[in-house]
């Protein structure tokens, strides 16, 4: 066999000893392969039925731009790997070029289904560095808890809705997104947005609850409680639904511990690990609720946990409402060197600060005006050091490690996102199973690629 190269400069390692000669058309190499009988024999031994399938990154059942590389033999998955990075936004690096307050605008966009958890975890870490953890007003902590628990319900509803849709239960999908709208309307009333809120700030909150918010939350809780039984009737004891989930995506406690899985995946093994109980934050130690577990170690157990956790979250929200009905109160630390925007008030047009608020700032003193200007444009200084804070997000332990060099911007911010860690379990859940069960296993993990890629 002859191969012609008109401008060849170097020979490859395989052809280093091959004869060569110069011709009028360039340098020609004579390359010889292995023995033909050996090639035929190796081809005969190869498994023609084993093929590589790329599921995603634009597949309706991969929960975003997740790419699954599956090596299958017939319908059996022999090897499964995750390909990530298609939604990389550089959020962690971008935060090094923004003030500590501006960081909340970035982190809320990571796991876009759990924005309040991202914001709270980040702010808890910053407050540790500032040494103001105990100075955060109680009302702010109660509102944080209420918003996080409502957010937990919306996240679980999306998990149930999309998971149901992927196995053919379109009714479950419609119910899930229908009920999610009830809570998103509350979010819009309180923060002005349905998602990506930047509502939780270092030291407290951007603003207090607006008029009518408590009543709307109370009505929303009442409505959702009246609808929770519909999911039980539709799916819990449905033989077709159970047939698709029971014993699918199996991962026991030893596997979870080895791979670092948390959240419903871990609690489905029977271990009641929940940071709200084991490492309380935001006053969770004062709330009465149960940690839901299952002992099935499969996708069905994870479904049951999410369903029951929504009931527990409603229970916590009701307790928050009892604490909030007392009236107004501070929602930001008193230290004016940190507390911005502590007195946020919208103007008559619904955009920007009210004129009364601006007059108050400008009318105090020249020093106060200068300080406010520097606080807004430069941000506050955070003492040098590092801190770690973690919250129990709907998907598991969401942790944040922040490092300060004493400046007005973070030196480093790194998140331990549960979706990223839990995706490690995909291979253990899927290898040896059927291709169709990969869909169910991934739905049970409930990854969000915004949190994975960051």
Predicted confidence band at 3 (pLDDT cuts at 50, 70, 90)? very low
**What is the spatial distance between Cα 269 and Cα 319, in angstroms, rounded to a whole number?**
29
pLDDT, averaged across the chain = 84
pLDDT tier for residue 411 given thresholds of 50, 70 and 90: very high
Which distant-in-sequence residues (6+ apart) come within 8 Å of 62 by Cβ? 55, 56, 68, 442
The partner residues of 55 in beta bridges, in order of sequence, read 68
Give the pLDDT of residue 361: 67
Q: What confidence score (pLDDT) does residue 318 get?
A: 93
* pLDDT over 60 (residue 344): no
Distance CA 161, CA 174 (A): 7
**Up-side HSE of residue 439: CA atoms within 13 Å toward CB?**
13
pLDDT for residue 124: 94
Residue bearing the bigger pLDDT, 379 or 36 = 379
Q: Please determine, for residue 426, whether its predicted confidence score (pLDDT) is greater than 50.
A: yes
Q: 220 phi and psi, to 5 degrees?
A: -65, -40
The residue among 355 and 370 whose pLDDT is bigger is 370
The Cα–Cα gap between 83 and 445 comes to: 16
Confidence of residue 372 (pLDDT cuts 50, 70, 90): confident
Element (H, E) at 274: none
Task: Note the pLDDT tens digit of each residue in 325-340.
Answer: 876 778 888 887 788 6
Strand partners, 398: 391
pLDDT of residue 368: 73
Q: Which helix (H) or strand (E) holds 165?
A: helix 138-166
Domains and CATH numbers, the chain: 2-46 (no CATH), 54-340+379-453 (1.10.645.10)
Are 173 and 161 in contact, with CB atoms under 8 Å apart?
yes
Phi, psi at residue 398, to the nearest 5°? Answer: -105, 110
Residue 32 pLDDT greater than 80, yes or no: no
Percent of the chain at pLDDT > 90 equals 37
Instruction: Name the H helices within 14-132.
Output: 36-45, 91-94, 103-107, 115-130
pLDDT in tens, 273-301: 999 999 999 999 999 999 999 999 889 99
Is 31's pLDDT higher than 90?
no
Q: How far is CA 92 from the centre of its chain?
A: 14
The tens digit of pLDDT for each residue in 155-202 reads 999 999 988 888 888 888 999 999 999 999 999 998 888 889 889 999
| pLDDT confidence bin for 404, thresholds 50/70/90 | very high
Nearest to 277 by CA among 408, 392, 449: 392
Question: Which of 325, 331, 139, 326 has the alpha carbon at shortest distance from 218?
Answer: 325
Give the pLDDT of residue 12. 42
For 329, the 3-state DSSP assignment is coil
- Is the pLDDT at 71 greater than 70? The verdict is yes
pLDDT at position 210: 85
pLDDT value at 439 more than 80:
yes
Choose between 52 and 91: higher pLDDT: 91
pLDDT at site 106: 92
**Nearest-5° Cα angle at 58, 52 to 63:** 100
Q: Which residue has the higher pLDDT, 362 or 251?
A: 251
Least confident of 12-21, 204-213, 305-314: 12-21
The residue-averaged pLDDT of 31-45 equals 62
**Intra-chain end-to-end CA distance of the chain, in Å:** 51
pLDDT in tens, 237-257: 888 888 888 888 898 999 999
For the stretch 4-18, pLDDT in tens is 444 444 444 443 455
Closest by alpha carbon to 427, among 302, 248, 249?
249
Say which residue, 24 or 140, is predicted with more confidence. 140
State the pLDDT at residue 142.
Answer: 92
Quick one: pLDDT at residue 30?
67
Please give the average per-residue pLDDT across 424-446, as a whole number. 88
In percent, the amount of the chain with pLDDT more than 70 equals 85
């Amino acid at each position: 066999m002859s191969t012609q190269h008109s401008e060849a400069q170097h020979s490859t390692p395989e052809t280093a000893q091959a004869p060569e000669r110069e011709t009028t058309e360039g340098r020609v190499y004579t390359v010889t392969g292995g023995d033909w009988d050996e090639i035929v024999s190796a081809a005969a031994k190869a498994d023609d039925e084993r093929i590589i399938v790329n599921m995603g990154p634009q597949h309706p059942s991969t929960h975003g731009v997740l790419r699954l590389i599956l090596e299958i033999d017939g319908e059996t998955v022999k090897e499964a790997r995750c390909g990530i990075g298609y939604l990389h936004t550089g959020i962690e690096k971008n935060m090094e070029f923004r003030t500590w307050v501006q960081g909340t605008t970035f982190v809320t966009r990571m796991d876009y289904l759990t924005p309040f958890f991202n914001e709270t975890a980040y702010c808890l870490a910053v407050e540790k560095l500032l040494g103001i953890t105990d100075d955060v007003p109680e009302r702010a902590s109660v509102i944080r808890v209420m918003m996080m628990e409502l957010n937990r319900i919306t996240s679980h509803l999306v998990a149930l809705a999309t998971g149901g849709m992927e196995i053919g239960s379109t009714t479950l999908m419609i119910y899930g997104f229908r009920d999610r709208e009830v809570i998103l309307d509350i979010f819009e009333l309180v923060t002005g947005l349905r998602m990506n809120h930047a509502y939780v700030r270092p030291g407290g909150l951007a603003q207090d609850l607006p008029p009518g918010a408590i009543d709307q939350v109370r009505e929303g809780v009442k409505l959702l409680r009246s609808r929770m039984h519909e999911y039980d009737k539709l799916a819990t004891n449905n033989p077709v639904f159970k047939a698709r989930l029971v014993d699918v995506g199996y991962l026991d406690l030893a596997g979870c511990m080895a791979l670092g899985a948390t959240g419903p995946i871990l609690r489905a093994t029977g271990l009641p690990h929940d940071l709200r109980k084991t490492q309380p934050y935001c006053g969770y130690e004062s709330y009465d609720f149960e940690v839901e577990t299952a002992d099935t170690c499969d996708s069905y157990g994870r479904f049951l946990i999410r369903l029951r956790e929504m009931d527990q979250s409603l229970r916590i929200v009701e307790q928050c409402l009892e604490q909030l009905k007392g009236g107004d109160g501070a929602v930001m630390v008193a230290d004016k060197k940190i507390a911005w925007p502590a007195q946020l008030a919208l103007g008559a047009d619904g955009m920007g600060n009210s004129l009364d608020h601006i007059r108050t700032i400008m009318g105090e003193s020249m020093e106060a005006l200068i300080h406010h200007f520097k606080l807004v444009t430069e941000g506050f200084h955070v003492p040098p050091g590092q801190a770690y804070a973690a919250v129990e997000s709907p998907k598991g332990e969401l942790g944040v490690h922040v490092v300060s060099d004493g400046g007005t911007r973070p030196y480093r911010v790194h998140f331990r996102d549960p979706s990223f860690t839990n995706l490690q379990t995909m291979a253990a859940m899927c290898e040896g199973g059927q291709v169709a069960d990969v869909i169910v296993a991934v739905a049970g993990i409930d990854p969000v690629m915004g949190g994975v890629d960051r």
